[in-house]
Structure 1
Amino acid sequence: MIDSFTHSIAFAPLLPRWVLIALAVVLVAALAIGLLARMRGTLLRALAGSVILLWLSGPQSLTETHRDLPETALVVVDQTPSMQLRDRASIARAAALALGESAPEGLTLRTVTVRGERTGGTRLFDALSQAAADIPPDQLAGAVFITDGQTRDAPADVPERLALHDEAGKSVTLPLHVLLTGRGEEKDRRLRVLQAPPYTIVGKSAVIRVQVDDLGPGTQAGATATVSLTTDGNPTLEVPVRTGEPQDISLPITHPGETLGGLSVSPLADEVSAENNRDVLSITGVRDRLRVLLVSGAPNQGERVWRRLLKADPSVDLVHFTILRPPEKDDGTPLSDLALIAFPVDELFRNKIDQFDLIILDGFENRHILPPSYLHNIAQFVRKGGGLFLIAGPEFSGPYSLQDTSVGDILPAHVPSSPPDLAPTEAGPGIIVRRFRPQLTEDGRRHPVTAELPGAPALHPAPDSLSAAHDVPGEWGPWYRALRSDDAHGQVLMHGPDDSPLLVLDHVDNGRVALLLSDQIWLWSRGEFGGGPQAELLRRISHWLMKEPDLEEERLEAHIADGMLTVTRHTVSGAPPTSVTVTAPDGTKSPLSLHPSGSGLLSGRMAATHPGIWSVDDGDHRAFAAPVRPDPEEFSDLRLTADIVGPVAKKTGGQVIWLGNDIAHPAVPAITLGATSGNALNFPQRHAHVLTGTSTTPLLPAWLVLLLAAGLLAAGWYREGRG
């Protein structure tokens, strides 16, 4: 660095300041008295006193030595995802290297790389502000952006970090130079989803609002384009649109759960990339107001649980009736006192039964309440796709059991009949009365209805002691009554005493049936010896009966994260396929092997970086997945353009330079410091420095003061003597 010198006058008083002031006052007073008295030689004597007073104030010549400090210019290199198009990133790196090699003496280039680690698009000015925070303002020379011109935080005026003030308080604007990684302005067509509902009722269409924009030189609104829509492997729907105008497209939702819709628009001639010409939507299909019919037999402890569970779900319309007494019983009570409304048997079980999604029969004993034709309607309701949940107690083995009707034909278990005079608290051929803890079967540990239920007991627990009066940690609370079946089919998920079936699920044609062979699940809600997950179990059973996709026992799932496709096959059968076929968005098919990854689970992974909808097929089931862009804003405009950062650069006095497409030798201009030269990257010289030394020299030596004072006094006396 070069040393520089500055000279100035300083004072080092020999006496305290107040003494010097007092002497000055006395000198002025003596001068005034002498002038008023017209005394000769007064001015000469006052001049001698002034010389002495000046000497006492210690005048010195001060010489300071300064060392100039280097200036720093920031080079912000854009390496965000949009820079990966073509050779932009490579050109940017080569230009940054060339700038570093051509920096003049006295100027340091600090390189900052922006990689787009957060969402919200590229933010070059945020990076500039953060990088300049630890540079002294008087050492900052300016900044250079090496970019494609796309940034989401361009200010309307000069950036705050480049608008400074010097030591004199004068405004200083530092230059921002922009180097663009290409030859000139580019064109791009983009597809934007303006509005899409996250949920839509199954059987209806989701209305999606899209807009196609053409950007860049030579483009204008109103051009024609074609938007294509594909969903879950269905035929492609093509819709003509005009650019620059919103367009509504209907997407049919045909099944519950997630529906992936792939949108794409026809390309624009000579556009820079088709990366933002497509998008993927995820819309969840939901059922419209699930209708549940709950019919309870004699009032029991489980009724309140059912009402609380079903009423808590806002998507469920519950119709609940409790049979207080059989119709043949007559105790003289007026009909108006038996119920607020009559039991609408004909309305529910003949005219409107198909309007329900689920029928729950809780402890229902058919004492001629429902005629055979209505019971036949219940069975047909299941076969056509409905769900039936039957909670069975002692009445199920009695003379009026539903298993001896048309409903029994669709039930997955049969219970031997008990004597008519058998009390509910007594054991019989079909009734077990003793303390037991419900256990999960092997199928139950794999089935999504019962898998991972909170507090599930061990697979082979220790025998439950009848005398135990305390809870067993990690195990469910006991029940005290169950039914013993002599025939069962379907899937047994829980068993009771003597390994007898307790919870049985079955598919019947297009519908489903669940049978719980005990009426004491309500004990779990009471916390009996620790209780159990009653509400969760009943919720899962009900939603399985209503065909909730996440509770299907045989299903295929796929999702994409971090460029990897993960496929999971859920099974209860134990013999699922060990490989699937993966179809990429471009139609390429690849096999993927699945390996056991848990109870009833097989999974496999493969790379999936291509945007669009990926399809997975195991022969019986299909699943779809699509990668999610981590930062959609980054790809909303892929043009190489000076329209965004160019105006800011010009306000600062900076240059906008096109680097060209030569990766090895980009057209990087020269850098000048303190001079202005054509297309060069000019930076001002800030003259920042640091003090390295000082030296002083007295301006009035003592001998000179003595001679001057003595001479002036002698001249004063001489002048006075001549008068």
Structure 2
Amino acid sequence: MTGSVIFDPLLPEWLIAGLAMLATTGLILALWRGLSGWAFRALAGLAILAALMGPAYQQEDRIPLSDIVLLVEDKSASQDLADRAAITAEAADALAARLEARENTEVRRITVPDAPENGGTLAMTALAQAMAEEPLGRIAGVIVLSDGRVHDADRTPDLPAPLHLLHSGRSDDWDRRLRIDNAPAFAILGEEVQMTLIITDDGAAPEGVTTVPLDISVDGAEPRRFDVPLGEEITLPVTLPHGGRNVLQFTTPTAPGELTDRNNTALVQINGVRDRLSVLLVSGQPHPGTRTWRNLLKSDSSVDLVHFTILRPPEKQDGVPVRELSLIAFPTRELFLEKIDDFDLIIFDRYRRRGILPTIYLENIRQYVENGGAVLFAAGPDFAGAESIYRGPFEAIVPARPTARVVEEGYLPRITNLGQRHPVTAGLEQAFGGDWGRWLRQIEVTQNSGDVVMSGVDERPLLLLDRVGEGRVALLASDHAWLWGRGFEGGGPQLELLRRLAHWMMKEPELEEEALWAEATGQQMRVIRRSLGDDVGPVTITTPSGDVVERDLEEVSPGRFETVYDGPDIGLYRLENDDQSAVIGLGPAAPVEFERTIASAEALQPVIDATDGGVRALEDGLPAIREVRAGRPAAGRGWIGITPRGAYETQSVSQMALLPPWLVLLLVSGLILAGWLREGRR
């Protein structure tokens, strides 16, 4: 039980003050006139003023509340290094036992795991959440058991008590780490990108080391080793070997005695893209399909298009030499002999042999295809005639032979069973619907090689794709694709079809018909296998630790097989299926938990100083625990302090008036009467 005097004025305080001034004025007047009863009247006034203040004696029935000590235990990945986890857990248990053994003290243990999405150690966030559930008036101290490498120090809550750090590091810890800066997500093929690399030693590192080995591997290939200076920033010029995802792995071998090798490797994944795609479009004669090709190719800002149409054949004789019909001679030799390898794709749109391009030029185009180039033939009636471009050097590379018949009737282009699996035509019916408009002409051809992905009249080949040597060839046996673009009978997926066709021929990685790749989300990967076959075997996954795992692939759509795998470790994974292989990096390129591994109070030092807390290494043993008053230093040699808060809970409150009305009336009446009698006796 505790008691105190409280006041509950019956009138506003300003009014009571006014009455006091009035009573004082009357007292002064009585003294001036020499009235003998002034003392009694003064006491009566004081009694009235005291009664108006409403004095009362208040008693509270209080129950003392225990002090709360918050024990924050760091269980992030960096705490698994060496023996940190064991000594931290042992220290947390011992501290909790000591604190709970103290009178009037409770312990709240807070566990801090790894934050998702490479967020690091969010110890202060966890502390703020725990404090939100406890009364601030009862928190007597905060003890953090960690390596001190917290990543949310800016979110530290306002602490009403000291914060102490007991770190798990050892005085002889040292670590070597590799860091990559300025790694781009995309890079242009054939152009160098500059990345910055630095290898440093932290902590009690061996002396006398000036250079360290560095292994560089691309897409899991055999690494190449270089010696690089230690502690110096070096610039690496990198040229990507191919389009699509390139996985670069930089590794410095583990040195004896270092704390961990988790930060000795950096994975950089860069997508290789082409700067400009060069396309040569050769039109035999103007027709609506020519504008379709031009619109498609010119709509892509990354495409450089060279287009010419042969309007005047040599047989047209009017007395004017052909070479004088143009202000500038057409550079056929330069295009088809000297600079043909500069083009990524050549399109012949209804072209027929008229003697403009000599046989030696066509032969050079055939060699260009076999050496890795791409040619697309958009066939019209000219392809079936005697002047067909098929006859001559191209006969060896065109996947179908014309029968000389041109079918002039309406038909619906259809995706073949094989086309349902081929990336050029897969999913077109589902994405754009199957109610397409008709085409009205088809060139009858007989398949020699390649894959038929679209068919026309009576399931005759309409679109054929083939690989010739290192290059690719496509034959579209109709010149009526432009009808879809005009919306004839509802139109169709003309632009998407032609876009995919052109990009497949230019060897874009996402349109390869036989491919294996993976898409990563955190520590989980989705393995994707695309194939023209009806079935594929299991995929073999080699983890960073060297373990080999097999997973069956399930067909999720025609030609597409998938499986999901949760990677146990951060690092480079190798995938193999049939003759396809791929690599992928799981986890962040540089896990934030292993950027700095040497224990340090640097991040928390401002908070520790502001709360008069302390820092102590667990290898020096557990500190003693003392009670200190608020505002006093709460740490010293071999001890840390907590601040008792003296919190309590009030169970009941009772009040008793010190001046009841009857007593005030009796007292005031007596004093006034005494003053009157005193003055009358005089």
When normalised by structure 1's length, the TM-score is 0.83
Residue in structure 2 matching 1:509, options 469, 472, 478: 469
Unaligned runs of 5+ in 1: 165-173, 418-429, 458-472
Cα–Cα, structure 1 residues 55 and 235, in superposed 2: closer, same or farther, change >3 Å?
A: closer
Is 1:395 the counterpart of 2:382? The answer is: yes
Q: Residue 75 of structure 1 contacts residue 110 of structure 1 at CA under 8 Å; is this kept in 2?
A: yes
Match of 1:152 in 2: 151
Per the alignment, residue 645 of structure 1 pairs with 604
SS at match of 2:408: strand
| CA distance in structure 2 between the aligned counterparts of 1:55 and 1:594, rounded to whole angstroms | 92
1:157-306 equivalence runs, <5 A: 161-162=158-159, 174-184=161-171, 186-203=173-190, 205-218=192-205, 223-306=210-293
User: Compared with structure 1, are the counterparts of its residues 94 and 331 closer, same or farther at alpha carbon in structure 2 (3 Å cutoff)?
Assistant: farther
Q: Distance in 2 between matches of 1:584 and 1:92?
A: 30
Q: Which moved more, 1:134-143 or 1:633-642?
A: 134-143
Shift of 1:539: 1.5
2:44 equivalent in structure 1: 49
- Alignment-mate amino acid for residue 654 of structure 1: G
Give the 3 Å change call, closer, same or farther, for CA 487–37 of structure 1 in structure 2: closer
Deviation at 1:657, TM superposition (A): 3.3
Partners in 2 of 1:711 and 1:510 — Cα distance? 124
CA deviations over 1:622-656 (Å, ceiling 9, x no partner): 22122123872222112233344356424422232
2:514 is aligned to 554
1:392 CA drift (Å): 0.3
Q: How far, CA to CA, are the matches of 1:278 and 1:579 in structure 2?
A: 29
Compared with structure 1, are the counterparts of its residues 36 and 291 closer, same or farther at alpha carbon in structure 2 (3 Å cutoff)?
A: closer
Residues 24 and 614 (structure 1), Cα distance of their counterparts in 2 relative to 1, 3 Å cut: closer
Compute the displacement of 1:362 (Å): 0.5
Residue 112 to residue 527, structure 1, CA distance change in 2 (3 Å): farther
Aligned equivalents of 2:604, 2:55: Cα separation in 1 = 54
Are the structure 2 counterparts of residues 652 and 269 from structure 1 closer, same or farther at C-alpha, using a change threshold of 3 Å? Answer: farther
Distance 1:400 1:621, change over 3 A: same
Shift of 1:175: 0.3
After superposition, residues 83-482 of structure 1 pair within 5 angstroms as 83-89=79-85, 91-101=87-97, 102-103=99-100, 104-115=102-113, 116-133=115-132, 135-154=134-153, 161-162=158-159, 174-184=161-171, 186-203=173-190, 205-218=192-205, 223-330=210-317, 341-417=328-404, 430-453=405-428, 455=430, 474-482=434-442
Partner of 1:612: 571
| 1:659 has 2:618 as partner | yes
For 1:498 and 1:304, the matched residues in 2 are separated by 29
Amino acid at match of 1:639: I
In structure 2, what is the Cα distance between the partners aligned to 1:677 and 1:282? 48
What is the distance in 1 between the residues matched to 2:487 and 2:168? 70
Question: In 2 relative to 1, CA 301–90 (structure 1 residues): closer, same or farther, beyond 3 Å?
Answer: farther
CA distance in 2, matches of 1:547, 1:636: 39
RMSD across aligned C-alpha pairs, in angstroms? 3.5
Amino acid at match of 1:111: R
Bigger mean CA deviation after superposition, 211-220 or 331-340:
331-340
Structure 2 match to 1:80: 76
Q: Which range moved further: 606-615 or 236-245?
A: 606-615
- The alpha carbon displacement at 1:242 in A equals 2.3
- Mapped partners of 2:604, 2:29: distance in 1: 76
Deviation at 1:300, TM superposition (A): 1.3
Q: 1:677 Cα shift?
A: 8.7
How many angstroms apart in 1 are the aligned matches of 2:30 and 2:549?
Answer: 117
State how far apart, in whole Å, the 2-side matches of 1:53 and 1:455 are. 96
Counterpart CA distance in 2 for 1:608 and 1:21 is 80
> Contact 1:48–1:713 (CA<8 Å) still a contact in 2?
no
Provide the C-alpha distance between the structure 2 equivalents of 1:656 and 1:217, rounded to a whole number of angstroms.
Answer: 19
- The question of whether the paired residues in 2 share the 8 Å contact of 1:456 and 1:475 is answered with no
SS of the equivalent of 1:253 reads coil
Is the 2:170–2:617 contact (alpha carbons within 8 Å) kept by the matching residues of 1?
yes
The percentage of aligned residue pairs carrying the same residue is: 36
Bigger Cα displacement from structure 2, 236-245 vs 650-659: 650-659
> Which secondary structure does the structure 1 equivalent of 2:355 belong to?
coil
Assess if the C-alpha contact under 8 Å between 2:37 and 2:678 holds in 1.
Answer: no
Give 1:143 shift: 1.8
Deviation at 1:212, TM superposition (A): 0.8
Distance in 2 between residues matched to 1:19 and 1:619, nearest whole Å:
98
Aligned partner of 1:169 in structure 2 is none
Contact 1:387/1:546 (CA < 8 Å) preserved in 2? Answer: yes
Tell me if the contact between 1:392 and 1:519 (Cα under 8 Å) persists in the aligned partners.
Answer: yes
**1:10 aligned residue:** 7
The CA deviation at 1:336 is: 10
Deviation at 1:200, TM superposition (A): 3.7
Q: Distance in 1 between matches of 2:108 and 2:566?
A: 37
Describe the SS at the equivalent of 1:303. helix
Provide closer, same or farther for how the CA distance between residues 482 and 9 of structure 1 changes in structure 2, counting only shifts above 3 A: closer
> Which residue type is aligned with residue 633 of structure 1?
V
Report how far residue 30 of structure 1 moved.
4.8
Q: State the SS of the aligned residue for 2:305.
A: strand
Cα separation, 1, equivalents of 2:625 and 2:122: 26
Worse-superposed segment, 639-648 or 588-597: 588-597
CA contact (8 A) 2:124 2:157 kept: no
On the 8 A contact 1:214/1:220 being kept in 2, the answer is: no
Instruction: Name the aligned partner's letter for residue 46 of structure 1.
Output: R
- The one-letter code sitting in structure 1 at the alignment partner of 2:380 is G
Paired residues of 1:503 and 1:516 also in contact (CA < 8 A): yes
Secondary structure in 2 matching 1:254 = coil
Residues in 2 aligned to 1:340 and 1:437: alpha-carbon distance in whole angstroms: 45
In structure 1, what is the equivalent of residue 445 of structure 2?
Answer: 485
Secondary structure of the equivalent of 1:626? strand
Given residue 78 of structure 1, which amino acid in structure 2 is its aligned partner?
Answer: D
Q: Which amino acid aligns with 1:382?
A: V
* 1:167 alignment counterpart: none
1:544-582 alpha-carbon deviations (Å, 9 max, x no partner): 212222222222224555545654432224475x24554
Structure 2, unaligned runs of 5 or more: none
Aligned-residue offset at 1:537: 1.2
Partner AA of 1:113 in structure 2: T
Shift of 1:16: 8.7
Distance 1:282 1:147 in 2: 33
Which amino acid letter does the alignment assign opposite residue 10 of structure 1?
F
The structure-2 alpha-carbon separation of the partners of 1:45 and 1:580, relative to structure 1 and needing over 3 Å to count, comes to closer
* Aligned-pair CA distance for 1:193: 0.3
Closer, same or farther: CA 105–398 of 1 in aligned 2, 3 Å: same
Alignment of 1:575-654 (within 5 A): 578-579=537-538, 581-586=540-545, 594=553, 596-603=555-562, 608-618=567-577, 620-629=579-588, 632-646=591-605, 648-654=607-613
1:205-236 CA distances to partner (integer Å, 9 max, x unpaired)? 54432111211135679732111111234332
Alignment of 1:524-535 (within 5 A): 524-535=484-495
The 1:340–1:300 alpha-carbon spacing in structure 2 relative to 1, beyond 3 Å, is farther
1:272: how far off?
Answer: 1.3
The amino acid across from 2:153 in the alignment is: A
Which amino acid counterpart does residue 570 of structure 1 have in structure 2? R
The one-letter code of the counterpart of 2:593 is: E
Matched residue type, 1:413: A
Distance in 2 between residues matched to 1:363 and 1:211, nearest whole Å: 58
Q: Which residue of 2 aligns with 1:466?
A: none
8 Å CA contact 1:211, 1:243 repeated in 2: yes
Give the 3 Å change call, closer, same or farther, for CA 677–198 of structure 1 in structure 2.
closer
What letter is aligned with 1:445? Q
Which deviates further from its counterpart, 215-224 or 448-457? Answer: 215-224
